[in-house]
Amino acid sequence: MELACALHFSGSELQIAKATRLVADAGFDALEISPWTPRNLSNAGVKNLRSSLRRNGLRFSGFTAIYPPEMTLASPSSASRRANIIYTNRLIELAYSLNGRVLVWGSPRSRDIPKGVPFRQGYAWLAELLKTSGSLADDRDIRIAIEPINRFESTTIHNAREALAMARLVNHESVGIAYDTFHTSLEEDSFTEPIVLAGRYLAAVHVSDCNRKIPGKGHIDFEPIFDTLKRVGYEGFVTLEAILSRDLRDDLVSARRHLERLIA
């Protein structure tokens, strides 16, 4: 396992160069970013990201929070759904060009099924997007990780069993599921059983404590979680996705040290 960091909860206003330097100085192996927070990732932004990663000796783990809230994946408009697929495919190509590994398919408001759309129809449209983009992801060796989101933030796919059902329906090697300790704390009866259930489908791991602060500032016991990740043979990135204090660097260094002990 390697350690990545995402700053879209705290530090999203930082320019790419500053964010990359901060994450590298704190000792992480990789950076994970949202492609639209704080602004859409332009061609110039991609170039800047690539050079900043190289300059700071960081890898790129992939994209998270990939869809802006105004994007409706299960839109009744066929033109909008085609545009959503084009957007997703662009992210797959960008991740591939940056040697990334994963797109975390969370974005709760975007993947909510709109009012007036029958659940079965909306669910089928979500699966259609994943099937279509999954074909490209297969070719590019990029994983799409379906993230269970707690019921207070999303109307669909709340737990590992539901995410696994979607992944099996889509039936692409590239489409798996994400494990997020914060959402797990709200939706599951166990922190370790979802990891075992995911098995080979486990494609991404996000960590924060039960209050979404860095591990160690809440009540989650992370040792059994990491023991189980090791037991199932997870070898991907573990991404810190937390709300940080005002002293970003202090929190990042503390979190990195805590996580390093757990993955050792």
Which structural domains are found in the chain, ordered by start?
Answer: 2-263 (3.20.20.150)
pLDDT score at 237: 97
Residue 223 CB-density burial (10 A; 0-12 exposed, 13-18 middle, 19+ buried): exposed
Under a CB-based contact definition with an 8 Å cutoff, are residues 182 and 243 in contact?
A: no
pLDDT score at 15: 86
Q: What is the pLDDT of residues 11-68, one digit of tens each?
A: 878 888 999 999 999 999 999 999 887 667 888 889 999 999 999 999 999 999 999 9
pLDDT score at 38: 64
Return d(Cα 217, Cα 209) in angstroms, integer: 7
- Residue ranges, the chain, pLDDT below 50: none
